[in-house]
Amino acid sequence: MAAPPLLTLQDIQLTFGGTRLLEAAELIVSPGQRIALVGRNGSGKSTLLKIAAGLVQHDGGKRFAEPSATIRYLPQEPDLSAYATTLAYVEAGLAPGDDAYRAQYLLNALGLTGDENPASLSGGEGRRAALARVLAPQPDVLLLDEPTNHLDLPVIEWLQDELSQMRSAMVLISHDRRFLSDLSRSTVWLDRGVTRRIERGFSAFESWRDEVLEQEEKDRHKLDRQIVREEHWLRYGVTARRKRNVGRLEKLANLRQDRRDQRKVTGNVTLAVSEGRTSGALVAEAENISKSFGARTVVREFSTRVLRGDRVGIVGPNGAGKTTLIKMLTGLLAPDSGTIKLGAAIELAMLDQGRARLEPETRLRDALTGGGSDTLKINGEQKHVMGYMQDFLFTPEQANTPIGKLSGGERARVALARALALPSNFLVLDEPTNDLDLETLDLLEEMVSDYAGTVVVVSHDRDFLDRVATSVIMAEGDGRWTEYAGGYSDMVAQRGQGVTARTVEKAAKAEKPRAEPAPPAATRRKMSFKDKHALETLPKEIDKLDAEIRALNAALADPAFYTKDPTGFAARSKALEAAEARKAAAEEQWLELEMLREELEAGG
């Protein structure tokens, strides 16, 4: 006999601002189930998850949660402001009887020490702390809204492994298809306010969705033809000329009403890249290039050739130097040694990860056109900004909306629209899949595949890389980079291993995107007294931690240690993890400050 559900939503209805967001949504979560919750951006997935968590009140329907069940919800934007440290924040989520050590373990595994002041955390660090808080109690039900956002590949793979070993039931919202495919066993599709469910994981979703939409289109076509037949009968039938049959008139009226009421799929994004002149056969050639910032080598004697038509993926933990490598391959940054040769007639267009050039006060239409015009040129043809907006699912009413008022997914579409509007034959995309829904991801993949020029992609999305990359350049650590033929899975097969949890602990302790070369000095802050002091004292702190780590490793290397003192062995192991975490964080902070200093000095 199946266990009763832990959480049930039935016929959930919700209206926002006069618009019906949810019409008849259902969600049933039983013990141990792993459910992928999917749907278009704006379809109401996050809202439905908040209703499931008891954080949003619905207009109609029923929510039931088993009183004895523990439920934990991961929001997209966690609030840590009420806590003195990240450890205090995570421990506050524990219930009596929960393993207190697990809070510290999770923080360390996610690249945090537990001593961080929440007020000074980056968005990614805050999200890591929030993950630790919801995972620590090992609850009966986990409701995770975009858990992989702001995480790099090593941490994503660690998180996936951690979740796969938990007994908790899970409802997952994520744009990472590989993550969903590997973890989910059921799929709930929220579409036009209504949910559909299949007892298969996300890997089966796309073909099932296409079958459903194809059947809807067939039904719509049959309904249209039936309407035509009925109208023909009314106009030309003998009976109609004598006396209108009230029953058939009512039938026709009902058919027309059905046609009007039939829920239609919302529009798709139309992606078209504005292609420039054809480049030479050789786009970029690097020979034994190296780049260091202070004592740290980010790229060490790397060589590659990028040819016209290549789709090159670049992967590695945050802080490994992916942005540095891109800047060198595109001629924006000179190597310390080695040579970079760029091909002829290169026209470069870039999509930056941080969407940094999207000013919050800029109107949507001005962000797309540059201001001062209502048109832009796409593939040599003038196109009105309203039409281009609609290609990316924006309505005319949004034309004057400030960028800062848009959602994360909408800002991602604006950044894509800007980058694709530039004439180019060399396209650089830095985390292009962030905040995109699955349908837009499909279209982006098609665009990248059909693009006549050359593409370099930095991405943590393994499935996206498998679908588009002709080769993958992998950060191996210590400034070493290796190029592998094929996509991400091919790279893993050639290396013999993927990125393991141990790699997370040692090589990618914390997400620090700003640890890569800083933007030009004109757009960056000046070094404060605190920054200068940290730059001077951090090397000594790192040396001290190095000595501590060597001593702990020496103690743990004694084969008799565990037999004689298991408790002491466990304590030393825990201390080693904490010391490695502090060292990694200190190195990343020092690297950021050193790069900032060099950038400021170079800028005069």
Q: What per-residue confidence (pLDDT) applies to 268?
A: 53
- Tell me the residue ranges of DSSP E strands in 372-439: 375-378, 381-384, 426-430
The percent of residues above 70 in pLDDT, for the chain, comes to: 81
**CA-wise closest residue to 69 among 165, 168, 135:** 168
Same domain, 186 and 154: yes
- The pTM of the full predicted model, rounded to 2 decimals, is 0.68
Q: Which of 97-101, 267-271, 394-398 has the lowest mean pLDDT?
A: 267-271
Q: How does residue 390 score in pLDDT terms, banded at 50, 70 and 90?
A: confident
Give tens-digit pLDDT for 476-515.
888 999 998 888 888 888 887 655 433 333 333 334 333 3
Q: What is the CATH number of the domain that holds 575?
A: 1.10.287.380
Instruction: Give the residue among 111, 120, 167 at the shortest CA–CA distance from 141.
Output: 167
Q: Which of 78-92, 228-242, 371-385, 524-538 has the lowest mean pLDDT?
A: 228-242
Residues 300 and 381 in one domain: yes
pLDDT digits (tens, 9 = 90+) for 257-280: 554 554 444 455 555 555 555 666
Give the residue from 228, 261, 294 where a domain finishes: 261
pLDDT average, residue stretch 287-300: 90
The answer to whether residue 175 scores a pLDDT higher than 60 is yes
Single-letter amino acid code for the residue at 127: R
Per-residue model confidence (pLDDT) at position 424 = 79
Q: Can you read off the two tokens belonging to residue 224?
A: 């249209």
CB-based contacts of 61: which residues, under 8 Å, 6+ apart?
9, 10, 11, 12, 13, 24, 25
Looking up residue 84, the CATH number of its domain turns out to be 3.40.50.300
For 205-251, the pLDDT digits (tens) are 988 888 888 887 887 777 777 766 666 555 555 444 444 455 555 65
The pLDDT assigned to 247 comes to: 59
Examine the domain organization and report whether 492 and 537 are in the same domain. no
Question: Does the residue 266 lie in any domain?
Answer: no
| Best-predicted range by mean pLDDT (307-321, 375-389, 484-498, 516-530) | 307-321
Please list, in sequence order, all residues whose beta carbon lies within 8 angstroms of the beta carbon of residue 90, skipping any fewer than 6 positions away. 103, 106, 107, 114, 129, 132, 133, 136
The residue type of 210 is D
Report in angstroms the alpha-carbon separations of 263 from 70, 194, 384.
37, 10, 29
Looking at 514, 531, 560, which one is the last position of a domain?
A: 514
d(CA 121, CA 87): 13
274 in any annotated domain: no
User: CA–CA distance from 234 to each of 138, 169, 222, 241, 257 (Å)?
Assistant: 66, 57, 19, 8, 17
In a domain, 56, yes or no: yes
The answer as to whether 404 is a domain residue is yes
Looking at the structure, tell me whether residues 91 and 133 fall in a common domain: yes
Tokens of 360: 């919050």
What gap in Å lies between CA 209 and CA 206, rounded to an integer?
Answer: 5
Which residues, listed in sequence order, are joined to residue 340 by a DSSP beta bridge? 286
Contacts of residues 596-602 at CB distance under 8 Å and 24 or more positions apart, as own/partner, are: 596/518, 596/524, 596/527, 596/531, 597/527, 597/535, 598/293, 598/294, 599/517, 599/518, 599/519, 599/520, 599/521, 599/524, 600/521, 600/524, 600/526, 600/527, 602/521
Q: Hunting for tokens 């090159």 — which residue is that?
A: 312
The alpha helices in 187-342, defined as continuous H runs, are 205-236, 238-242, 246-261, 322-329
Question: How confident is the model over 407-465, as pLDDT tens digits?
Answer: 666 777 787 777 777 777 888 888 888 777 777 787 788 778 778 788 999 988 898 88
Gap between the Cα atoms of 214 and 559, Å rounded:
64
Give the model's pLDDT for residue 233.
Answer: 55
What is the model's pLDDT at position 497? 64
22 and 170: one domain? yes
Residues 249 and 287 in one domain: no
Is 363 in contact with 404 (CB distance < 8 Å)? no
Looking at per-residue confidence, does 17 or 97 come out higher?
97
Residue 65 lies in a domain: yes
Q: Is residue 213 part of a domain?
A: no
**457 DSSP β-pair partners:** 313, 429
| Helix (H) or strand (E) run with residue 133 in it | helix 123-135
Which of these ranges, 14-28, 88-102, 316-330, 518-532, has the smallest mean pLDDT? 518-532
Last residue of a domain, one of 481, 496, 514: 514
Q: Which residues contact residue 433 at a Cβ distance below 8 angstroms, ignoring those fewer than 6 apart?
A: 175, 441, 444, 459, 461, 464
- How many structural domains are present in the chain? 4
**Same domain membership, residue 184 and residue 36:** yes
**What is the spatial distance between Cα 498 and Cα 153, in angstroms, rounded to a whole number?**
10
**Tokens matching residue 235:** 């106009």
The parent domain of residue 531 ranges over 521-602
Please indicate, yes or no, whether residues 236 and 94 belong to a single structural domain of this protein. Answer: no
Residue 273 domain-assigned (yes or no): no
Report the range out of 57-61, 405-409, 530-534 with the highest average pLDDT.
57-61
By C-alpha distance, which of 603, 589, 583, 478 is closest to 536? 589
The reply to whether 327 and 230 lie within a common domain is no
